[in-house]
Amino acid sequence: MDFNGSFNKVIEELVMNVLPSLVIVRGHRFGGGAGMIWSSDGLVLTNNHVVARRKPIIKLNDESEHEARLISRSPEEDLALLKIDASDLKPLEPAPENPRVGELAFAFGHPWGQRNSVTRGIVSALLNAKTSQGRTLPVIRSDAPLAPGNSGGPLVNSRGQVIGINAMIMGGDQSLAISVQAARNFVLKVVGEEKIGVGDQQPIPEGVL
Amino acid sequence: MSKNVLVELSEAMAEAVENAGKATVMVNARRRMPASGILYASDLILTADHVVEREEDIKIVFGDNTEKSASLAGRDPGSDLAVLKVNGSAGIVAAMTKTPGRVGQIVLALGRPTNEGIQASLGTISAVGGPVRTGRGAILEQYIRTDSIPYPGFSGGPLVAADGSVVGINTSGLGHGASLTIPAALAWKIGETLASHGHIRRGYLGIRSQTVEIPESARSSLKSQQETGLLIVGIEKDSPSSKGGLMVGDILTSVNGTPVLHHDELFAILTGEIVGKSTPIEVLRGGTKAVVNVVIGERK
């Protein structure tokens, strides 16, 4: 088997599949964060802490810039849902199941402003974080290196499906991502079931939510 | 999306973590966060010595979340290994690798420091080296270094190959805080001795010394071209060296006929085998050769 050739090819394919769904979110005067396209008609998911003002600017992978409306934000879960006026966007597919510890994970974002960066790691741990309100929030710790600018970007599995939303950097080498299940619940609360996982042809089983 | 090599690799690693994770246990024997251990025989757990801060009330949590009390069967601060014993058969035993670790090999560091399941980080073997002096008074015949992230509580947990077999045991207690891996074959061997004898015997002289150059003029009296030796700068009270008649100012040049140029050679000589034996130690005293017989003690 041409191991190197096929290995590089599938990684390239994975990256090419994810990048059109990766956006830049400019919410601060300085810098910015990442975000991902959640529905083909313009829903964008990112971290709450990336969105400092009510009308952040979203820059898509095709370089077009859009003023976004803030649909909902949850400081507790550090999630925010934005909407831009656009259509035929390419949303990411959420992973149908919880990830397993040990599986490959790729973090997409713009660390230190380096656009469309991809870092590789594995799912290191599946943990429950305590929110400021005392609720538990399922999070994924990975060993993929993250830096400021990765926040709000997707953590994807080897199939290119979203497993988490990159959120925190603890102690320099510990990356936490909010589980995509928590993100789905957050979006569901806001926009109702019909908007969930547009582009994802599978019906969402109740148990997964 | 069909399976490709990336998906296959990803699934294989998750499988390796799941399999090796069954034999990776939580070791709760210190005040701060628990550490990890490896079930390497049906009732024996190998862990890092430095995470066993108390010898009573040691709790083990297994992969299926069952908890058992354990007792300390043996410990070796020198190599930072300890063996704990639980009552009865405890579960699935770790499989040791059949091939030693190689530089470049993909490995996973595993730990179970919490009740929330197995944890892992990915890396490659960066170096295989040794022998090395541990800074805890022992020579480690071989060690492995990796670039995997040593998460808090990973000490005592396994480093596993892509097939889930154990390549070594991870500890942050030997490398001045940096993580180091003791190869499985060596760790298993030390573990066996600890399980049956409780400790590893090491020789003890009771000297403090530093490496010095042997003057050209003295080399002829030694009848050797040995370039360095160990200048004795301190003798511990009531130690084997003080009883045997070693003195501050002596330059130690050989033990039992084996030249000693640096500390490492002395450590290699002071094994458990020569404990209690009268051993000729050659020194330079006032520029001339002298031989002193010392009964080697045991390091506590």
How many interface pairs between A and B have CB atoms less than 8 angstroms apart?
80
Pairwise CA distance, residues B207 & B242, whole Å: 9
Domain count, chain B: 2
Residue A62 annotated in active site: no
CATH number at residue B256: 2.30.42.10
Q: Which residues of A touch B164 (CB under 8 A)?
A: none
Whether B67 and B175 share a structural domain: yes
Beta pairing partners, A54: none
Task: Identify the pLDDT of residue A82.
Answer: 94
pLDDT, tens only, B116-142:
999 999 999 999 998 888 877 778 889
ipTM over 0.85: no
Burial class (CB in 10 A: 0-12, 13-18, 19+), A177: buried
Whether B37 and B94 share a structural domain: yes
With an 8 Å Cβ cutoff, is B1 touching chain A? yes
With an 8 Å Cβ cutoff, is B94 touching chain A? no
**What amino acid occupies position B293?**
N
Whether B106 and B249 share a structural domain: no
Pairwise CA distance, residues B290 & A121, whole Å: 61
Burial class (CB in 10 A: 0-12, 13-18, 19+), A30: exposed
Q: Which residues of A touch B1 (CB under 8 A)?
A: 159-160
| A112 against B157, higher pLDDT | B157
Residue A28 annotated in active site: no
Whether B162 and B214 share a structural domain: no
With an 8 Å Cβ cutoff, is A202 touching chain B? no
Q: Which residues of A touch B4 (CB under 8 A)?
A: 6, 10
pLDDT, tens only, A91-102:
999 999 999 999
Whether B253 and B291 share a structural domain: yes
| B257 against A54, higher pLDDT | B257
pLDDT, tens only, B156-212:
999 999 999 999 999 998 877 788 999 999 999 999 999 998 988 888 999 999 999
Q: At what angle do helices B5-22 and A3-18 cross, to 10 degrees?
A: 100
Residue A45 and residue A183 in contact, taking contact as beta carbons nearer than 8 Å: yes
Alpha helices by DSSP H, listed for chain A, are 3-18, 180-191
What is the total residue count of chain B?
300
Residue B260 and residue B253 in contact, taking contact as beta carbons nearer than 8 Å: yes
Q: Which residues of B touch A100 (CB under 8 A)?
A: 14, 17-18
- Is the confidence at residue A15, as pLDDT, over 80? yes
Task: Identify the pLDDT of residue B223.
Answer: 83
State the residue range of the domain holding B13: 5-197
With an 8 Å Cβ cutoff, is B151 touching chain A? yes
Residue A143 annotated in active site: no
Residue A52 and residue A73 in contact, taking contact as beta carbons nearer than 8 Å: no
Smallest CA–CA distance from A14 into chain B, residue: B6
Do strands A65-67 and A69-74 pair parallel, antiparallel, or not at all (unpaired)? unpaired
Domains defined along chain A, listed by start: 14-89+184-204 (2.40.10.10), 104-182 (2.40.10.10)
pLDDT, tens only, B242-253:
999 999 999 999
Whether B191 and B215 share a structural domain: no
* Reported pTM: 0.83
| A31 against B122, higher pLDDT | B122
C-alpha dist (Å) from residue A137 to A89, A161, A182 = 29, 20, 7
Task: Identify the pLDDT of residue A3.
Answer: 65
Average pLDDT along chain A? 86
Burial class (CB in 10 A: 0-12, 13-18, 19+), B175: middle
- Is the confidence at residue B8, as pLDDT, over 70? yes
pLDDT band at B218 (very low <50, low <70, confident <90, very high): confident
Q: Which two tokens stand for residue A150?
A: 């990765």
- Is the confidence at residue B213, as pLDDT, over 90? yes
Q: Which residues of B touch A176 (CB under 8 A)?
A: none
Pairwise CA distance, residues A26 & B234, whole Å: 66
Lowest-pLDDT choice from B147-151, B247-251, B261-265, B278-282: B261-265
At B221 the three-state DSSP class reads helix
Instruction: From the candidates A39, A117, A142, A151, give the one annotated as an active-site residue.
Output: A151
B-interface mutation test, from A92, A101, A159, most B Cβ less than 10 A away: A101
Q: Which helix (H) or strand (E) holds B197?
A: helix B184-197
Q: Which two tokens stand for residue B73?
A: 């069967």
A-interface mutation test, from B9, B18, B121, B124, most A Cβ less than 10 A away: B121
- Is the confidence at residue A172, as pLDDT, over 60? no
First to last CA, chain A: 40
CATH number at residue B94: 2.40.10.120
With an 8 Å Cβ cutoff, is A40 touching chain B? no
With an 8 Å Cβ cutoff, is A7 touching chain B? yes
Q: Which two tokens stand for residue B136?
A: 């805890």
Q: Which two tokens stand for residue A38?
A: 């959640």
Pairwise CA distance, residues B268 & B259, whole Å: 11
Q: Which two tokens stand for residue B270?
A: 């002071």
At A17 the three-state DSSP class reads helix
The mean pLDDT of B52-70, rounded to a whole number, is: 94
The mean pLDDT of B9-29, rounded to a whole number, is: 96
Looking up tokens 């069952």, which residue turns up? Answer: B66
DSSP strands (E only) in B199-273: 203-204, 207-213, 228-235, 251-255, 258-259
With an 8 Å Cβ cutoff, is A72 touching chain B? no
Whether B146 and B248 share a structural domain: no
Whether B76 and B105 share a structural domain: yes
The mean pLDDT of B279-300, rounded to a whole number, is: 92
C-alpha dist (Å) from residue B277 to B46, B54, B94, B256 = 31, 34, 39, 10
| B145 against A170, higher pLDDT | B145
| A10 min Cα distance to partner chain B (Å) | 7
